[in-house]
Amino acid sequence: MIYRTKVFNAAAILLVLTLLVVILVYGKPFFVPIAFAGLLGMLLLPVCKWLQAKGVNHAISVLLSLMIFVIFLASVIAFVSWQISDIAENASQLEQQIMQKYQQLRQYLSSEYGISPEKQQQMLKEQQQSSSGKVSATLTAIISGFGGFLTNLLLVMVYAFLFMYFRARIKGFIVRLVPDSEKSKTVSCIQKTQQTAQKYLKGLFLMIVFLWVMYAIGFTIAGVKNAIFFAILCGLLEIIPFVGNLTGTALTLLMSLVQGGDMNLVIGILVTYGLVQFIQSYLLEPLVVGSGVDINPMATIVGLVAGEMLWGIPGMVIAIPLIGMLKVIFDHIPVMQPYAYLLGQDKKESKGIGERIKGWFKSKK
């Protein structure tokens, strides 16, 4: 009987997990904007509360908070567009450099592997014929994707406004779901969950700003053309953990080579990447991000992979803060505490360099 009960419970858990995965996959168009809106609302909540403390109306404070975010986002997009237009102005020169690299590649293939120029031209024509239909499909996908992005962005803004405006009612709804004896613990859980998300998002925002400055200085010294554009690109890609910075640096390196960069430029880009990674790992992350999301590397990597499989790139972006919030919730539910332990990491007794610098600044006050 006990064996049957255990088997039944295991099967029930597996069924629930399967249904959850199916709901998340097929409900992606609905859940992704809501998830981003919730995180955006938590990021802007301190600004909204500050405006309310200054006597600003509740609804107006929410609108002003969103307007600040929209202005910042529009400024970044406008600057990136300006940099892209500057690159487009040199398209003819860039095309000549690409053709020069192409000719060098043809000569290399001919001399090293015995592939004649005629054979290379035939292979290129066959490739163009096979991919001719894919070009229009790709352009259509890009246009539809941009339209979907604008639609989702509008939904995110609307949801974020509603979440911040009705935050008291949402909190009251959650509290009313639990018995009276658990209400104080539930309020504490909600507060800590908000603090976890806010710490991570604020730290990530500051991290991106610092990366912009460091990459801009490093790329400018190295001699990268349009250094500020590539610095902003590398910083923005930081929202995708682990692979973001590496992808941005690889794109910078590839574009610099196409634009005629030499080995000194390549070394400069790689040195900049190495220095930025060192400063980010040993100074910025302990000081700026801190322990806002207290999850171990195993949970982080598994969460990123699962997020990408469920929701693609958006899933990778929001995986870490969502896992951090889940860990806080699991900590407050006795039956889920083993899972919180699995996601978390042990507190290190020895202080890292970030904590030492923090203590040094505190001692100077």
Is 227:259 a contact under the CB 8 Å cutoff? no
pLDDT at position 352 is 45
Closest CA to 239 of 3, 36, 13: 36
pLDDT at position 163 is 92
Give one word for 242, left, alpha or beta, with left for phi > 0 and alpha for psi -120 to 50. Answer: left
Angstrom distances, CA of residue 144 to CA of 55, 141, 149: 43, 5, 9
Look-up: residue for tokens 């998340």? 24
| DSSP assignment of 158-182 | HHHHHHHHTHHHHHHHHHHTS-GGG
Q: Is the pLDDT of residue 33 over 50?
A: yes
Which class for 24: exposed (0-12), middle (13-18), buried (19 or more C-beta within 10 A)? middle
Max alpha carbon distance in the chain (Å)?
82
Which band of pLDDT confidence, cut at 50, 70 and 90, is reported for residue 121?
Answer: low
Percent of the chain with pLDDT over 70: 72
If you average pLDDT over residues 265-284, what whole number do you get? 84
Q: Is the pLDDT of residue 12 over 60?
A: yes
Pair of tokens at residue 228: 């500020």
Max mean pLDDT range (124-133, 210-219, 296-305): 210-219
**pLDDT tens across 172-215, in order?**
998 888 888 888 888 888 888 888 888 888 888 888 888 889 99
Look-up: residue for tokens 């992606």? 28
* C-alpha angle 150-151-154 in degrees, rounded to nearest 5: 85
pLDDT at position 149 is 66
Q: Is the pLDDT of residue 102 over 60?
A: no
Give one word for 197, left, alpha or beta, with left for phi > 0 and alpha for psi -120 to 50. Answer: alpha
Closest CA to 207 of 178, 239, 179: 239
pLDDT at position 290 is 52
Answer whether 0.85 is exceeded by the pTM. no
pLDDT at position 169 is 92
If you average pLDDT over residues 214-236, what whole number do you get? 86
Element (DSSP H or E) covering residue 261: none
> How many CA atoms are closer than 13 Å to the CA of 342, on its beta-carbon side?
10
Is 288:210 a contact under the CB 8 Å cutoff? yes
Q: Is the pLDDT of residue 133 over 70?
A: no
Q: Is the pLDDT of residue 116 over 70?
A: no
Q: What is the rounded CA–CA span in Å between residue 306 and residue 177?
A: 30
pLDDT at position 354 is 45
Domain borders along the chain are 182-292, 293-345
pLDDT at position 97 is 57
Q: Is the pLDDT of residue 359 over 60?
A: no
If you average pLDDT over residues 343-364, what whole number do you get? 54
pLDDT at position 289 is 58
Is 229:212 a contact under the CB 8 Å cutoff? no
Angstrom distances, CA of residue 358 to CA of 285, 289, 291, 365: 12, 13, 13, 11
If you average pLDDT over residues 155-180, what whole number do you get? 90
Is 258:269 a contact under the CB 8 Å cutoff? no
If you average pLDDT over residues 326-339, what whole number do you get? 85
Count of CB atoms within 10 A of residue 245's CB? Answer: 20
pLDDT at position 158 is 92
Q: What is the rounded CA–CA span in Å between residue 323 and residue 21?
A: 15
Closest CA to 310 of 70, 26, 14: 26
pLDDT at position 159 is 93
**pLDDT tens across 252-270, in order?**
888 777 766 677 888 888 8
If you average pLDDT over residues 165-178, what whole number do you get? 90
* C-alpha angle 253-312-142 in degrees, rounded to nearest 5: 70
Rounded mean pLDDT of the chain? 77
Q: What is the rounded CA–CA span in Å between residue 85 and residue 81?
A: 6
Higher pLDDT, 289 or 32: 32
Q: What is the rounded CA–CA span in Å between residue 60 and residue 41?
A: 15
pLDDT at position 89 is 60
Is 162:58 a contact under the CB 8 Å cutoff? no
Which band of pLDDT confidence, cut at 50, 70 and 90, is reported for residue 164?
Answer: very high
pLDDT at position 294 is 74
